[in-house]
Amino acid sequence: MARQERATRTRATILEAAATVFAERGYEAATIADILARADVTKGALYFHFSSKEDLARGVLAYAVTTEGVPEQPSKLQEVVDVSMVLAYRLPREVVLRAAARLAADQSSRDLFGAPYSEWTELIASLLDQAKAQGELLPHVLPEETAGILVGAFTGLSLTSQASSDISCLERQVGLMYDHMLPAIAVPGILGRLDTSPDRGARVSAQAAEEDGPAERDGEEGAALTAGAAAGA
């Protein structure tokens, strides 16, 4: 293995170990010792890649806002749904996303690192802008306002569905959320054609993986993390 590739893999291993500890224990209770034990690397290797626990948390949060696994769609409103459904599919299955969600929901770590909500809102608002330009939205819809409601609702469902032991609970809940919201957003001609079924996220993720291949998707580190997530599943 080339030295560069080995370093990339070590970094991904450490980040995934940190995510596992953050997801299980929360930011405050997590320690560098826990993360070292979980990653099975030396202290030197960890500090070569990350300067502190804060730096590890920032590394995890860098993966929190992503459209990885979401193919472009002719309907931009379907793409809005897809961004959420893919995240609902991946969140319970990928520890880096679970850790980012836990860090974002915790006020202490939010005070330290900020939360990804405004980035998510911008991303959804820009897709809704495109949907509006294509005539997919009812005339009264304000993209930024609606994006804020969608992101807030998704965030809450990811919290309330954690109590469920069913890994597909969030996908079902987010599909239902869209069933409750889309009649107030979409023009009638589009509404009937939008797919909000619970397995939508799994299906478009698989489609995206076929189209791109993991190595192209998110750079080498992303590929290493994705491979790790798949191996851990």
Residues that bind its own copies (CB under 8 A): 25-26, 28-29, 102, 105-108, 110, 115, 117-118, 145-146, 148-149, 151-163, 173, 176-177, 179-185
Closest to 207 in 3D by CA, of 48, 32, 7, 72 = 72
> Nearer to its own copies by C-beta: 38 or 217?
38
**Shortest Å distance, C-beta 227 to its own copies:** 27
Q: Coil, strand, or helix at residue 186? A: strand
Tell me, what DSSP letter sits at residue 42?
-
> Nearer to its own copies by C-beta: 8 or 173?
173
Other beta carbons less than 10 A from residue 125's beta carbon: 19
**Shortest Å distance, C-beta 172 to its own copies:** 9
The separation between the first and the last C-alpha atoms of the chain, rounded to the nearest angstrom, is 25
> Nearer to its own copies by C-beta: 10 or 158?
158
Question: What's the rounded Cα separation, in Å, for the pair 120 and 123?
Answer: 5
Cα–Cα distances in angstroms (integers) from residue 62 to residues 2, 25, 58, 77, 221, in the given order: 25, 19, 6, 25, 12
**Shortest Å distance, C-beta 220 to its own copies:** 31
**Shortest Å distance, C-beta 218 to its own copies:** 25
> Nearer to its own copies by C-beta: 11 or 102?
102
